[in-house]
């Protein structure tokens, strides 16, 4: 009797063990996103978009014969939280690649941890230069502030033909980097355009009237604004309320349907540099835009599309590497060439892991973002 029981036990144990082996027979990719806290709206966009990407990959049969499993953790856009989450992804979940769908602070804090473990790490849209400097396993699918700033300069001079420019910058890393890039372009290739007013505003600012009154007095013909949608939209709205109808040029932080919703009619004609072209004719992009809106009842934005791309970059690299070995995947990501991403065709990554792709220019027309132009000049878009 005892022996039978013992055998029963062993069989049961084996079943349980193989059960967990079956469960482990997926490819695990981690996703860090700010699902709660002040950045929760971006976190939701990232989460929704990457889930669409996951569905697409698994419907097409997964990668190297296995299904992909997504492990999502909330980092609350907080550095300390991100470190804890990174350790969990490494030790508990043993992921083989990570999408950082979060802000600079958490991405910057967790990048070196993944670098040490040789786990490829792709930052979707975080902008701090240090993220990719953590090492060769760290890549970025978003633009650096410098690239976006120079591109904005190009748009201001070549497309808008501005002569007197007022610059409003949010007081954080990205704002400052972007302003530096913008000024660099205006000084060297400005064709006589000059910056008549340079104004930084603190990140939690809500009331822009004092700044706008000042700008009004300068008689600028273009206002360049760096900031998130919760900065740019009130700026647009308050400017129009004050009777300022000067053209406004923004950056990817304003790339959210919320910009249009908050600013309402004041957003018409607003231009921005970003990485998602809503009028991109490629079927992948149009399918994503439609699918996202019908499923989540809100328009997709560049944050989500960038995270989608980061996830696809890792999956493609695993396919090309034909293995789940960190080193092989890293080499494959570094070898990415002309990859068909939502946010444009990725020409590749440079030595420090920065993406090279065209910068999109969008304009608000009838309450939606539409194509306005594209910056293709390789000297501007190469970081």
Partner 1 sequence: MQLFFEQLLNGIAMGSIYALVTLGLALVYGILRILHVAHAGVYTVGAYIGLFFFQLTGSLIIAALGSMVFCAMLGVAIERFVYYPLLKYPPYVPLIGSIAVMLAIEELCRLIAGPHILTFAAKLPFPEIQLGGITISSTLMAVYCITAGVLAFLWYITSFTELGLAMRATSQDIPIADAMGINSHLIVSITFVLGSAIAAIAGILVGIYYNQVYPTMGAVPAYKTLALIVVGGLGSVPGAVIAAMLLGVAETLLIGYANIPLPRDALAFIAMIGVLMWRSEGLLGSR
Q: Which residues bind partner 1 (CB under 8 A)?
A: 36, 38, 40-41, 43-44, 171, 198-207, 209-211, 213-214, 217, 229-230, 233-234, 237, 241-243, 258, 261-264, 298
Task: Tell me how far, at minimum, the Cβ of 76 lies from partner 1, in Å.
Answer: 11
Between 44 and 363, name the residue whose CB sits nearer to partner 1.
44
Q: How far apart (Å, rounded) are the C-alpha atoms in residues 43 and 82?
A: 13
Which of 101/234 has CB closer to partner 1? 234
- What distance in Å separates the CA atoms of residue 262 and residue 251, rounded to the nearest whole number? 17
**Residue 229 beta carbon to partner 1: minimum distance, rounded to whole angstroms:** 8
Is the CB of 237 or the CB of 282 nearer to partner 1? 237
Reduced to 3 states, what is the DSSP secondary structure of residue 140? strand
CB of 318 to partner 1, least distance (A): 31
Cβ neighbours of residue 371 closer than 8 Å, sequence gap 6 or more: 277, 278, 279, 360, 361, 362, 363
- If the CB atoms of residues 73 and 201 are measured against partner 1, the closer one turns out to be 201
CB of 347 to partner 1, least distance (A): 34
Give min distance, CB of 194 to partner 1, in A.
17
Q: Which C-beta is closer to partner 1: that of 43 or that of 120?
A: 43
Do the beta carbons of residue 306 and residue 174 sit within 8 Å?
no
**DSSP string over 270-288:** -EEEES--TT---HHHHHH
* Cα within 13 Å of Cα(147), Cβ side: 25
Percentage helix, strand, coil for the chain under 3-state DSSP, each rounded to 5 = 50, 20, 30
Contact 166, 223 (CB under 8 A): yes
Cα separation, 377 vs 358, whole angstroms: 8
Between 263 and 333, CB nearer to partner 1:
263
97 DSSP β-pair partners: 29
Residue number, 216 or 365, with CB nearest to partner 1: 216
Q: Which residue lies nearer to partner 1 by CB, 296 or 371?
A: 296
- What token pair was written down for 235? 């700026």
- CA distance to 161, 215, 275, 313, 380, per residue, from 357 (Å): 24, 33, 9, 14, 10
**Least gap, CB of 127 to partner 1 (angstroms):** 20
Q: How far is the CB of 258 from partner 1 (least distance, A)?
A: 6
**Cα 157 from chain centre:** 26
Query: How near is the Cβ of 201 to partner 1 at its closest, in Å?
Result: 8
């Amino acid at each position: 009797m005892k022996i039978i029981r013992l055998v029963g036990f062993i069989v049961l144990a084996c079943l349980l063990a193989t059960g967990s082996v079956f469960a482990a027979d997926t490819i695990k990719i981690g996703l860090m996103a700010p699902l709660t806290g002040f950045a929760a709206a971006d976190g939701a966009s990232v989460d929704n978009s990457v889930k669409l990407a996951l569905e697409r990959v698994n419907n097409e049969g997964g990668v190297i014969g296995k299904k992909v499993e997504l492990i999502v953790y909330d980092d609350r856009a907080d550095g300390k939280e991100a470190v804890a989450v990174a350790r969990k992804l490494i030790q508990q979940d043993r992921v083989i690649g990570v999408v950082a769908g979060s802000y600079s602070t958490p991405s910057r804090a967790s990048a070196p941890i993944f670098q040490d473990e040789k786990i490829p790490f792709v930052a979707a849209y975080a902008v701090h230069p240090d993220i990719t400097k953590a090492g060769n396993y760290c890549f970025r699918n978003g633009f650096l502030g410098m690239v976006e700033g120079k591109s904005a300069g190009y748009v201001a001079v070549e497309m808008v033909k501005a002569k007197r420019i007022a610059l409003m910058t949010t007081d954080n890393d990205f704002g400052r980097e972007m302003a530096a890039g913008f000024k660099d372009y205006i000084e060297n290739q400005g064709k006589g355009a000059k910056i008549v007013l340079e104004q930084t505003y603190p990140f939690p600012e809500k009331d822009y009237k004092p700044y706008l009154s000042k700008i009004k007095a300068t008689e600028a013909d273009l206002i360049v604004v760096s900031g998130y949608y919760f900065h740019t939209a009130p700026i647009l709205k308050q400017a129009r309320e004050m009777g300022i109808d000067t053209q406004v040029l923004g950056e990817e932080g304003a790339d959210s349907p919320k910009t249009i919703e908050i600013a309402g009619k004041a957003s018409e004609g607003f231009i921005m540099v970003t990485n998602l072209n809503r009028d991109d004719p490629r079927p992948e992009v149009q399918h994503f835009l439609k699918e996202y809106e019908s499923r989540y009842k809100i328009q997709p934005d560049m944050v989500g599309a960038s995270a989608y791309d980061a996830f696809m970059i890792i999956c493609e690299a695993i396919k090309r590497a034909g293995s789940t070995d960190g080193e092989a995947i890293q080499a494959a990501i570094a070898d990415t060439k002309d990859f068909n991403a939502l946010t444009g065709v990725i020409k590749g990554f440079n030595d420090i892991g920065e993406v090279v792709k065209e910068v999109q220019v969008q304009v608000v027309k009838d309450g939606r973002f539409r194509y306005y132009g594209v910056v293709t000049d390789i000297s501007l878009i190469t970081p």
